[in-house]
Amino acid sequence: MEINKRPFSNLNLYVAITLNVIVQSCSCQENKGVSQNTISQTEIISRDLNLKNNQISQVVRTVFQDSKGIIWFGTENGAFRLYGKSLIHIDGIRSESGKGVTIKDIAEDKNGKVWFGHTDGISSIDGEKATNYYESDGLISDDVWCIAADSNGNIWIGTIDGTCIFNGQEFNNFELPEGKIDSTLGISSTKMVHSIMEDSKGTLWFSSNAGLFSYSNNMLIDVSDKVGIRTNFVNEVFEGKNGELWVSTKKGLYNLRENRINNITESKIEVGKSIGSIAEDKEGNIWFVSNQHYLYSYNRKEIIEYQKSEENKGPVIFQIYRDQDDRLWFVGYGGAYRLENGKFLNITKNGPW
């Protein structure tokens, strides 16, 4: 395994632009003297160049910590594992044609095997061994959006063409009702499944373009219809420490408890395209993102917007994640960050871990 490196073509282009600015700055110094603004601009470009090329990846889709405490990153450049204080690229995860993949989701089964859903199937890591599975192996679709492991050892895979289950030997399709295409997104389908989650009671939850569904005791229930969620487009279900469920949708963030729902964001915030990822901090506050750009926390009484600035804006958030040390991670377009002392801390290939 080796550390992943960004393509040289992007780096050369950025360096060329930087050198051009520096040359122009030198010319200005000869004719007009040195200005503080010129020096500052050159320093900013140099700093941004180093930071850009030192990111884990320009797009980090997901972060996950397994039962051994190992942190994994899913990126547009494949999967990375934090080994000690070194970030290692997992070369064995690849497409059927041998190319790299974008990791969209990570899960761990009851035996400690780590699973990855990506743009060309699914993969598992068992120790140092990587195994890849594709449509040619029976997977319902290679375009995988989410992956989960249940308490019985089954692997559930949500794709653009529906859901299937892998029992370690074969794939079997799992039928969900057909939904609608989300016309506001570049990629969508009537059978798209965004998230699969097993809660503490063993019930499976499916977030899809047909709404929210639960599955237990061989019974599939249309929860959206039962409790009155007013949209087909459900992104994620998150279980808080007290067992209550939080549901992110196109119409807002719902609290689901005992078959009753409450849209806590209705008439309070601008939802935009939708509510996205959800997490809970150690104090019990619920954190969520709206339209990927706006970050909020909810303390059961009020919704508070996290105030970003040019110096402290973090990534365009794809996922919020709480690790075993109660640290909140925010990953997305722009790299990986943690929220520490109220500010975003950029986590690069060199940490800080």
H or E element that contains 105: strand 103-108
The model's pLDDT over 280-335, given as tens digits with 9 standing for 90+, comes to 999 999 999 999 899 999 999 999 999 999 999 999 999 999 999 999 999 999 99
Using the 8-state DSSP alphabet, how is residue 99 labeled? Answer: -
DSSP helix/strand/coil, 229:
coil
Residue 5 has pLDDT above 50, yes or no: no
How high is the mean pLDDT of the chain?
88
DSSP helix/strand/coil, 251:
coil
Q: Where are the domains of the chain?
A: 8-50
Distances (CA, A) of 167 to 67, 115, 139, 154, 201: 21, 13, 12, 5, 21
DSSP helix/strand/coil, 51:
helix
* Residue 26 CB neighbour total at 10 angstroms: 12
Q: How would you classify the pairing of strands 144-149 and 155-159?
A: antiparallel
Residue 17 has pLDDT above 80, yes or no: no
pLDDT value at residue 52: 64
| Category of 342 on φ-ψ map: left (φ > 0), alpha (ψ -120 to 50) or beta | left
Backbone angles phi, psi at 323, to 5 degrees: -90, -175
